C-alpha cells in the first residue's frame, strides 16, 4: 500500500507544470571561484553565509530572481531608503528553516523575528569596496534595528592566513569565505572582483525530469534530471532526504548542487543535491 501511495505521489509531481517566470531579476554582482589566482592581500574577506540573497531597492525587498519577498511591514520599515544587497540569515546550518520562512506568501511575525538581514554591498554606490564597507557599517548604525547587520570584513596577509581562517570557519559549521577586491568600484555580473572559497564547488541547475528509484528507493524518486546554464544535462542521485525523494522539487525549480571537479566532457564529478534555491 505504501509503495502504491509513493508511486501516486511521484506521478502527480511529474504532472506539475514548470514554475512560471517572475519579475525581472535585478542586476547584481556574482562570484567567481577562488583558485589561488589572486593576491589575497588586495581583498577584504568575510564568511560566506548559508542564507538567502536579498536585494532591497529602498522600497521593495526581492529575491535574486526578482520575485518580491513578503517580509512583515515592521521588518521593511526598519530598512533605510538606500539600496542594499545582502543575505537573509538565521545562523549556520539553518537554511532549510529560513527558506521556508521567507518564501511564505503571508509572513509570520514570530518567525521573522529570528531573521537578520546581513549586508555586504551598497548597489550603485560610489567609491571602492573598502569605502563602501565603511558606509555599510555607518548605515547599519544609523538604522539602529536589531535585524539589520553588516557582514564583518577582514584582511589576511597571505594564502596561509586565508586557508587557516577557512578551516576555522568550516570547522565551526560555516560554508566558506568570500573575497571582495578592496579597491573595486561597484559592478554587476560575474567577476573575479568577488570570489567564493569553499571546500567543494557548487553550482545551480534547473529540474527537467525525474528518474524512478530502485531497490530501497522503489516507488519514489531515484534521481533528478537537471540542466545547467550551459545546456548540459545530468542526474543528481545523492544528497536527498527520504522526504525529498517522496516529494522532490517540481519541474522548473532551480536547485543548488555540489561537486568536486569536472569530467573531460565538462560534467560535474560526484554531483550531489544540496538544496532548492529559495526564490
Alpha helices in the chain (DSSP H): 2-14, 73-77, 95-103, 109-112, 129-143, 159-171, 242-246
Please answer whether residues 197 and 179 qualify as being in contact, where contact means their C-beta atoms are separated by less than 8 angstroms.
yes
Residue located via cell numbers 545523492: 238
Measured between alpha carbons, how far is 96 from 98 in angstroms, rounded to an integer?
5
How many Cα atoms occupy the beta-carbon half-sphere of 241 within 13 Å?
7
Pick the catalytic residue from 48, 67, 164, 167. 48
The values of phi and psi at residue 236, to 5°, are -115, 110
Indicate if 48 belongs to the active site: yes
Question: How far is the CA of 157 from the CAs of 19, 122, 161, in angstroms?
Answer: 46, 26, 6
Measured between alpha carbons, how far is 57 from 62 in angstroms, rounded to an integer?
8
Please classify residue 230 by burial: count the beta carbons closer than 10 Å to its beta carbon, then call 0-12 exposed, 13-18 middle and 19+ buried.
Answer: exposed
Maximum C-alpha span of the chain: 64
- What is the end-to-end Cα distance of the chain in Å, rounded? 35
Residues designated catalytic = 48
Amino acid at each position: 500500500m505504501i509503495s502504491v501511495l509513493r508511486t501516486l505521489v511521484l506521478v502527480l509531481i511529474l504532472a506539475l507544470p514548470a514554475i512560471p517566470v517572475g519579475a525581472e531579476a535585478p542586476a547584481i554582482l556574482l562570484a567567481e571561484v577562488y583558485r589561488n589566482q589572486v593576491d589575497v592581500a588586495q581583498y577584504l574577506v568575510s564568511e560566506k553565509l548559508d542564507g538567502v540573497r536579498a536585494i532591497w531597492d529602498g522600497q521593495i525587498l526581492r529575491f535574486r530572481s526578482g520575485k518580491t519577498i513578503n517580509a512583515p511591514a515592521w521588518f521593511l520599515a526598519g530598512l533605510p531608503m538606500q539600496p542594499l544587497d545582502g543575505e537573509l540569515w538565521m545562523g549556520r546550518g539553518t537554511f532549510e528553516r529560513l527558506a521556508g520562512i521567507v518564501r511564505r506568501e503571508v509572513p509570520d511575525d514570530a518567525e521573522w523575528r529570528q531573521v537578520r538581514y546581513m549586508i555586504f554591498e551598497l548597489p550603485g554606490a560610489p567609491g571602492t569596496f573598502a569605502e563602501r564597507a565603511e558606509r555599510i557599517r555607518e548605515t547599519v548604525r544609523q538604522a539602529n534595528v536589531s535585524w539589520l547587520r553588516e557582514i564583518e570584513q577582514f584582511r589576511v596577509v597571505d594564502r596561509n592566513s586565508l586557508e587557516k581562517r577557512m578551516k576555522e570557519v568550516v570547522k565551526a559549521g560555516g560554508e566558506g569565505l568570500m573575497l571582495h577586491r578592496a579597491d573595486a568600484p561597484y559592478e554587476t555580473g560575474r567577476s573575479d572582483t568577488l570570489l567564493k572559497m569553499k571546500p567543494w564547488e557548487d553550482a545551480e541547475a534547473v529540474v527537467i525530469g525525474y528518474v524512478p528509484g530502485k531497490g530501497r528507493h522503489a516507488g519514489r524518486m531515484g534521481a533528478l534530471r537537471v540542466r545547467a546554464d550551459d545546456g548540459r544535462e545530468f542526474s543528481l542521485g545523492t544528497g536527498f532526504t527520504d522526504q525529498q525523494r517522496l516529494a522532490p522539487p517540481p519541474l522548473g525549480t532551480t536547485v543548488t548542487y555540489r561537486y568536486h571537479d569536472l569530467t573531460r566532457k565538462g560534467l560535474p564529478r560526484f554531483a550531489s543535491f544540496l538544496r532548492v534555491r529559495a526564490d
